[in-house]
Amino acid sequence: MFTGIIADRGAVRAVRPGADTVFEIATALNLGDLAPGASIACAGVCLSVVDKDAGWFAVQISAETRARSTAGAWRVGTALNLERALRLGDELGGHIVLGHVDAMAELVSRRPDGESLRLTFDVPRDCEPSIAPKGSITLDGVSLTVNEVEGRRFGVNLIPITRTKTTLGDLRPGDRVNVELDVIARYVARLLAREPA
C-alpha cells in the first residue's frame, strides 16, 4: 500500500529483455533496509524488487503489466515517480493507493492556472463512474484531487512543488499516464452498477 506522495524521481538505467523484462532503476532512495521482494511503486505500478546495489534497484515486469501500463514504453532514461511501500505508523499524506493500474489516460491539454499547471486527461469510458470532482485519483503514482469531470475528460492542478518533484510537469499532449482510481470510489461504482437480485 502507498500514499501517492512521491519520494524520489528515478530513471531507468538498464533494460534486460526476456519473457519478463527486468528494469534497473537509478534512485536516490535509501535502499539499505530494502529486502528482496519488497514493493516499490514505479510510476504508480506496484513492483517487487529482485535485485539492488548502491543507487539502483531492479524489478521484473510481466508481459501483462507492460501491456496494461506505461511500462510497455519504458526505455533507458525514462523518468519514473518512485514511492516505497507504506509502513505501519507512517503519515498517510495523500490517499490510499494500491499500485494497481486501472487504465492509461492521455493528456489532452496543459495550461497555466495561476502558479499552478492545469492538466486535462481523457480516460477509457469504463473509468467514468469512479471519477468525481474533488475526489482522489492517482496519476503515475501521484495522489491528486480531481478538479472537474466532463464525460471521459477530467482535470487536475499541479502546484509548483508537484511539477518539480514528479514527472507530471514534463507531460505534453498525447503523453499517457497510469491511472489508479480511488479504491473507495471504485467499489461504490461497482455496487451501484449491480442490478437488484
Q: What's the confidence (pLDDT) of residue 194?
A: 67
Measure the N-to-C terminal CA separation of the chain; round to a whole number of Å: 33
Domains assigned to the chain: 8-84 (2.40.30.20), 103-193 (2.40.30.20)
When pLDDT is cut at 50, 70 and 90, the band that residue 195 belongs to is low
Is 53's pLDDT higher than 60?
yes
Q: Supply the mean pLDDT for the chain.
A: 92
Q: Give the C-alpha separation, 56 to 21, whole Å.
A: 16
| pLDDT (tens digit per residue) in 4-27 | 999 999 999 999 998 899 999 999
Closest CA to 146 of 182, 103, 110, 175: 182
